[in-house]
Amino acid sequence: MAKKPVIELKNVWKIYRMGDVEVPALRGLNLKIYPQEFVAIIGASGSGKSTAMNMVGSLDIPTRGSVYLDGIDISHMDESDLAQVRGKKIGFIFQQFNLLTNLTALGNVMMPMIFQGISKEERLEKAENLLKLVGLGERMTHRPKEMSGGEQQRVAIARALANDPEIILADEPTGNLDSKTGKMIMDLLVNLNKKEKKTVIIITHDTKIANVMERRVRLFDGKIVK
C-alpha cells in the first residue's frame, strides 16, 4: 500500500492585507511530505518559504485551501486545539534558538513536556537523555548565556525532541553558526532522519545545505518552481 503523506498542502493561498492592498505570500501551493522524508524548502527572501514553513508547521492557517496533518484537516482548528496537535506532532528548531534565558539547558528541554501533562520525574529523565543524545551531558545545568551558539542550537534540538514528535521542522538551523558548527548540527539532523526515523524538513536559502537533502522544493513568488 502506498504511503500516505504526513503533511499535505492543497491549493494553499496566504494573503496578507496591507491597508487596502492584498499581498499574496502563497499562491495555490500544493505540497506532500511523506513519513521519514528529508526535505529542504528553499528560496530567496520574499519567495514565500517562511509562510510555507508556518503552514507546514501548523503555526498559521491559510486564507484559502487546506492543510492536512496525518490526514486531519487543521485549516479551521482554533488555536488551543492546533497548539495541542502541533505540540505532539512537530518539533521546532529556530535560527535564533529561542531558548528561555533564565532556565538551564535541562529546564529548556523539560518545558514542552509540561504542556503535555508529563510528570516531573519523567520530564527530568527524558531531558537528561536527550541532552546526552546531542552531546551535552556535561552542560545540563548551564544557562544559554554560558553556552556557545552551537551548544545552544543543540539544546534547541533536544527541546524539539522532547515530546517525541514525528516531524522536525528547522528554520535556517545553521544560519547563525560558523561552518564547522553548522556541519555538526546538520550531522545531528541527518542522524535524526536516518537513525531515529524522523521526518525532517529544513527551511533554508543555503544551497550547500539543500544539496545534502534527499528532496528539494524550490519556491518563487509563493509557488513551487522545482
* CB burial string 128-164: b at 16+ within 10 A, e below: bebbebbebeebbebebeebebbbbbbbbbbbbbbbe
pLDDT at 70 over 60: yes
Taking a C-beta distance cutoff of 8 angstroms, is the pair 8, 202 a contact?
A: no
pLDDT in the model for residue 226: 72
Task: Give the CATH H-level superfamily of domain 38-59+87-224.
Answer: P-loop containing nucleotide triphosphate hydrolases (3.40.50.300)
pLDDT digits (tens, 9 = 90+) for 140-152: 999 999 999 999 9
Res. 124 pLDDT band, cuts 50 70 90: very high
Give the domain ranges of the chain: 38-59+87-224
Res. 2 pLDDT band, cuts 50 70 90: low
Handedness of CA 105, 176, 61, 91 (dihedral sign): negative
pLDDT in the model for residue 6: 95
Region 73-85: mean pLDDT is 86
